[in-house]
Amino acid sequence: MTTATDLNALTVNMAETLLGPALSRGQHNDLAVICRDEQISYGELDKRANRAGNAFKRLDVNIGDRVLMMVRDTPEFFYIYLGLLKIGAVPVGLSTRLAAQDLAYIIEDSESVLFILDHCFSELYADGLALVTNAPTTIFTDMEIDGALYFQTLVLEAMEELQAVQLQWDSPAIWMYSSGTTGKPKGVVHLQRTVLASTRLMGEVLGVGPGDRIYSTSKLFFAFSLAHCFFASLQLGATTILDPDWPDPNIVNLNVQRFKPTVMLSVPTFYRQLLRDNLATKPAFKKVRHYLTAGEKMPATLFHDWIKATGRAALEGIGATETCFLFLVNRPDNFKPGTCGLPTPGTEVKLIGQDGEIIVEAARPGVLWVRMLSLACGYWNLEEKTEGVFQEGWYCTNDMFTVDKDGMYEHQGRVDDMLKVSGQWVSPSEIEEQVQQHPKVLEAAVVGVPNKDGLVRLALFIITPEVGTNRKKLETEIRELIVKNLSIYKCPRNIYYVDNMPVTATGKLKRFALRALVVGGETGV
């Protein structure tokens, strides 16, 4: 029996945890990564990670040093990330769509010693550097640029052998920056133990192993993709399919046709786009064994449309940057549309009511708390925020859920998204799900806006191809749909039209930005 003392004495290296199983099984010649015309075996990946690690050591990168990465989804991302892990440094993958002021904040907040980037992000990087006082050493991955180091030259001069540093299992291993929807980015500190249980969902639930090919439309700087397409895929000996470009339906279709993934990850909005463009009915999509979806709620109509097109359910789950991996997910043999499913293997959850009581009855909303091995230890330099959500091994997600009689958890929205209208609590996501059932609505978002008397009233924002007089007909149909399925007080007073939903660099909806459009008078019915 493993005791707490045994675990505290355990020394590991995250890179070895990820690569070790495949190499020990003799998978040296099996493909670890496919990126367009590049194919990288497990043996070659290990050697190139060693070269990268040795190159960073020569630059005096030490254990615990933070290294920022703004690198597209290419094999270089794997080499750099694993190389840093091998020497005990801390890789920090950044969104490639950060605002310059957020990038500047992260550079200074992280106290990073290196910044590694692709040349296509050089303008953003320069804008960020203009706002900081101490710039880290710069390395470009794919081009020689004056005043910076060149990754390809550094690794060419480095050795292929490297002994990975052994570290305590609860020592820092990686960081991710969570932007949230307001405020400055938060550095989420994950430990060496984060990936010790990375096979629980992908391996135990989905049966992923050697021979499988994993493809995500979400980029590797998202925890959803990093955890399941990098960490779990490597540890299970599968192959990760990469594409450096930002995804669109045609790119994804080409990758699915060419590389034939067996497991695919995407967000509901993207599944909707594939259906809209009549791509999901192609034979290659029917050959994908499992689809996963997270990041936003999947409407029941979209769920059923995807099954009709592909013959497979898109299994909805939910995770967080703070948990790295999904903590709730539907199962291939046990799923319910509109829910996030059951706790993932090894995950404990509890619903907490307004008075701190544990909720056990069905259909009563509460805040979800999570305990799992991959939980972060807190936020860098944010002690008060850390103490507010990380308590005695549990993490407060600040997500509202209900659980049904079968143990399925349904997301009701963020705690700070919940609105009180006419004395009743309203979940924006519940209304959004109803609205998105209309075939002419591509996306929907609900916010609370004060009227002239200071009372909160619901405002609905939609993206639709409808124009002119057709919009009045659409508004009538939307209101009829809501009133038919929900209480009358959940019907928005006003409907607004937008071309795009405002989101953060990590894809989270900025409800405050939508609210500002109404309060500031920048849009109208």
Query: Angle, nearest 10°, between helix axes 75-86 and 42-58?
Result: 60
pLDDT of the residue at 429: 86
pLDDT, tens digit (0-9, with 9 covering 90-100), for 297-334:
888 889 999 999 999 999 999 999 999 999 999 999 99
Torsion (CA) 78, 80, 86, 90 in degrees, nearest 10: -110
Count CA atoms within 13 Å of residue 349 on its CB side: 29
3-class secondary-structure state, position 192: helix
| Mean pLDDT computed over 474-488 | 90
- DSSP 8-class letter at 290: E
Class of CATH domain 421-519: alpha beta
Question: Partners of 395 in the beta sheet?
Answer: 370, 390
| Mean pLDDT computed over 371-398 | 97
| Mean pLDDT computed over 242-253 | 97
Question: Please, which residues have CB within 8 angstroms of residue 73's CB and are 6 or more apart in sequence?
Answer: 35, 219, 220, 242, 243, 244
Please report the DSSP string for 158-205 in residue order.
S-S--PPPPEETTSEEEEEEE--SSSS-EEEEEEGGGGTTTHIIIIII
pLDDT of the residue at 6: 59
Residue 144 CB coordination number (10 Å): 12
- Measured distance CA(318)–CA(297) in Å, rounded: 9
pLDDT of 423 higher than 80: no
pLDDT of the residue at 470: 86
CATH topology of domain 10-335: Rossmann fold (3.40.50)
pLDDT of 196 higher than 70: yes
What amino acid is encoded at 520 in this protein?
Answer: G
pLDDT of 31 higher than 80: yes
* Burial (0-12, 13-18, 19+ Cβ within 10 Å), 371: middle
User: Are 10-335 and 421-519 equal in CATH topology?
Assistant: no
pLDDT of the residue at 7: 60
Q: Among 269, 227, 221, 223, which residue's Cα sits nearest to residue 248?
A: 269
pLDDT band for position 4 (50/70/90)?
very low
pLDDT, tens digit (0-9, with 9 covering 90-100), for 130-186:
999 999 999 999 999 999 999 999 999 999 999 999 999 999 999 999 875 557 899
pLDDT, tens digit (0-9, with 9 covering 90-100), for 340-371:
999 999 999 999 998 899 999 998 999 999 99
pLDDT band for position 524 (50/70/90)?
very low
Write down how long the chain is: 525
What amino acid is encoded at 303 in this protein?
Answer: F
Q: Where are the domains of the chain?
A: 10-335, 421-519
End-to-end CA distance of the chain: 65
Buried/exposed code over 311-329 (b: 16+ C-beta within 10 A; e: otherwise): ebbbbbbbbbbbbbbbbbb
| Mean pLDDT computed over 215-219 | 97
Q: Cβ distance 338 to 303 under 8 Å?
A: yes
| Mean pLDDT computed over 450-459 | 80
pLDDT of 521 higher than 80: no
Q: Among 202, 264, 261, 191, which residue's Cα sits nearest to residue 227?
A: 202
3-class secondary-structure state, position 417: helix
Q: What is the pTM of this model?
A: 0.88
Percent of the chain clearing pLDDT 90 (strictly above): 81
Residue scoring higher pLDDT (345 or 428): 345
